Amino acid sequence: MTRMAPRQSGSALILALLVVAIVATLASSILWRQELWIADIGMQREKAVLIGLARSGTDWAQAILAEDARTSAIDHLGESWTQKIPLIPIDEGELGGFLEDQQGRWNLNNLVRNGKADPFQFEVMQRLLESLGLSVELAFALQDWMDSDGETSSTGGAEDDFYLSLRSPYRAANAMLSHVDELRLVRGFSPDVIEKLRPFVTALPEFSAINVNTAPREVLAALQQTYSDSDLDAVTSRRERLPFRDLADFRGTLKKSSFDTREGLLTTASQYFQANVAAKYKDSSIELVCMIRRHAGRTEIVWLRHT
Ligand SMILES: [Ca+2]
Ligand SMILES: [Ca+2]
């Protein structure tokens, strides 16, 4: 008997988990459609079926992440959950999607802790902005948006007096971001700025560490002023060959005595993932975006949005 390569067996596993999610959906299909029908009286039946199909995609994503937690203690880019699933025919419709590790990204909500800017994370954000060719003043604007006081931190910052003077006035949130798209309310964060930042940032509901196995080079570079190009080359080439099993392994690869070891800055395992699900049914299509938290092998949906 020939053994399947890990990648092939990963694909087979993902498809098997899809079948489980879909069979569960089909088994309760009549009840499921009736419930949707009752729940969404004003919604067309086609739309309701479409949303149900997309929700089976988020069940599928949760099953993949639970299975991953059962079989590995770390998260890296060679794992099954990283595979993108193209649209495949399911129950008169089509379903596909992909998962993204949110801890490979810098968490915008790390900027402010207990109502005040975190000086270390503030520098991380400024380095990230600079490397992307964006103004470092944006960090002040975001700090003011999230910090608990009403004092403008710098000329690039903005509090209520700025936002209340706009044509359509509103107040600073003085609270963490609920979603990356909330940046559009913050001074200086134009659509172009947000799109440049988007691949590298997230907005999680708690302080989060960066996963050194999945973070793009831009994010790793922003973490420490002392990282050189050769340090980053060493990290990216090593993890492609062999993912870091823990932070001691990561530090050993960098060979840095000055390496910042503060608690909670880095990790090799992730808790937050975003599922991007696309579904089609008859003439309708939908994209669902879902933030999933995985903890102690269990998964829960933090939020769910659709377009
Ligand atoms: Ca894993
Ligand atoms: Ca503020």
Domain coverage including residue 201: 106-206+214-259
The pLDDT assigned to 259 comes to 53
Same domain (yes/no): 150, 18: no
- Ligand minimally distant from the alpha carbon of residue 174: 2
Distance 174 CA to ligand 2 centre (A): 5
Residue 1 in domain: no
Side chain identity at residue 206, one-letter code: E
pLDDT in tens, 282-295: 888 999 999 999 99
Are residues 240 and 133 both part of a single domain? yes
Same domain, 52 and 89: yes
DSSP state of 305: E
From the CA of 68, the nearest ligand is: 1
Cα dihedral 54/304/12/18 (nearest 10): -40
pLDDT tens digits, residue range 26-45?
555 555 555 555 555 545 77
30 and 92 part of one domain: yes
In this structure, are residues 205 and 108 in contact, taking their beta carbons and an 8 Å threshold?
A: no
Give the CATH number, domain containing residue 279.
3.30.1300.30
Q: Same structural domain for residues 240 and 148?
A: yes
Instruction: State percent of the chain over pLDDT 90.
Output: 67
How many structural domains comprise the chain? 2
User: Are residue 63 and residue 17 in the same domain, yes or no?
Assistant: yes
Assigned domain for 151 exists: yes
Ligand nearest to the CA of 187: 2
Cα–ligand 1 centroid distance for 241 (angstroms): 16
Is residue 264 domain-resident? no
- 195 plus 292 within the same structural domain: no
Report CA(204)–ligand 2 centroid distance (Å). Answer: 19
Q: How far is the CA of 107 from the centre of ligand 1 (A)?
A: 20
Distance 74 CA to ligand 1 centre (A): 5
Judge residue 236's burial from the number of C-beta atoms within 10 Å of its C-beta, 0-12 exposed, 13-18 middle, 19 or more buried.
Answer: middle
